Amino acid sequence: MNGRNYMFPAEWYPQSGVQLTWPHADTDWKECLHAITATFVEMAKAIVRYEKLLVVAQHVDDVEALLRREISAELFKNIVFCRAENNDTWARDHAFITLVPADHASVYQAQSCLLDFCFNGWGGKFAAHLDNAINRNVYYQGVLKGGYENHTDFVLEGGAVETDGKGTVFTTSSCLLKAPNRNQPLDKRRIEAKLKAVLRVQRVVWIDHGRLIGDDTDGHIDTIVRTSPGDTLLYVGCDNPKDEQYTDFQALEEQLRTFRTIEGKPYRLLRLPMPDAIYDDDKQRLPATYANFVILNGGLIYPTYRQPDNDRRAAEVLQQAFPDRQLVPIDACTVIKQHGSLHCLTMQYPQNVIQEIGCMPDIF
């Protein structure tokens, strides 16, 4: 766009705010709408303590009234509302992926670049036509500042890619290469070339192990491996040889040990615990994970699963990775019923992107 070079920033870079796409009775949350709404309110309360919150809601007046009751008048000023119809609530996968100018001297003063990809319900598993239209809807309402790039000819979910902000993108072969109804007939070489070109990165690192049982996304990276400052990879480990995922997660750990930074150095590896197995009413295992945390300006929201020892161990590792951030635990037991966790519900926007009002932008 406009001849400017862009970079894909790490999630811990300064943010303007975080998007939540609000649940309603016509989503899959209808059977537990009260409980999941309570979780969303807790998420909202945590986010507005640190930065702006962009609420995308089908019934925006009702959500605004609810949050006015739950959040102080001073912090309520940090909320921006946008009306849009939605099939579901997984903002991580249907929202924009944002790039910032590569010139670090002006990286948060110049205009960012909002990338709009195709979201097709994780390969056509679920209806997604409304979610796939949210980005353009939000953009034309003028609440986001930045240039728009249309890449809706390519299927990509935000949870499928993780960056260190230094030119590397991590992703999984199970999702981007092996899963049906994504970008066939593109092969690995062409998918990798597409990711490098569109995300403006130098290399793509493929992870071949560690897919959680019960993960509808075909193995998103944000459920198993995350980056943090200091060339650090946080990953989910499995200590129980009787766990059906044990062998695969041992292989994940071995693969991570072989990885090198873009400068050729080993990564610092921090191991998150595997939650004890959680099952739904049909005795199907749910993809609970501590890797699905949300980074904020000065804060970090992490999921808990009513497992005191594991929850505590996860917090200790996360504090080690992010010593400058205040940890905010939020119970994710309702969220996991729909096979996701807290990071899956959110999408961050870099500094100076979310604004209260804006003029009608141009589409590039």
Query: What digits encode the pLDDT tens for the residues 68-95?
Result: 999 999 999 999 999 999 999 999 999 9
Residue 1: its pLDDT value, please? 42
Place of tokens 């935000």: 158
Residue 105: its pLDDT value, please? 46
Could you tell me the domains of the chain?
A: 6-350 (3.75.10.10)
Q: Give the torsion through C-alpha atoms of 130, 136, 141, 144, to 10 deg.
A: 120
Ranges of residues in the chain with a pLDDT under 50 are 1-3, 105, 107, 358-364
Under 8 Å CB-to-CB from 146, ≥6 apart: which residues? 98, 111, 112, 113, 114, 353
Distance CA 258, CA 266 (A): 8
Residue 355: its pLDDT value, please? 87
Residue 261: its pLDDT value, please? 97
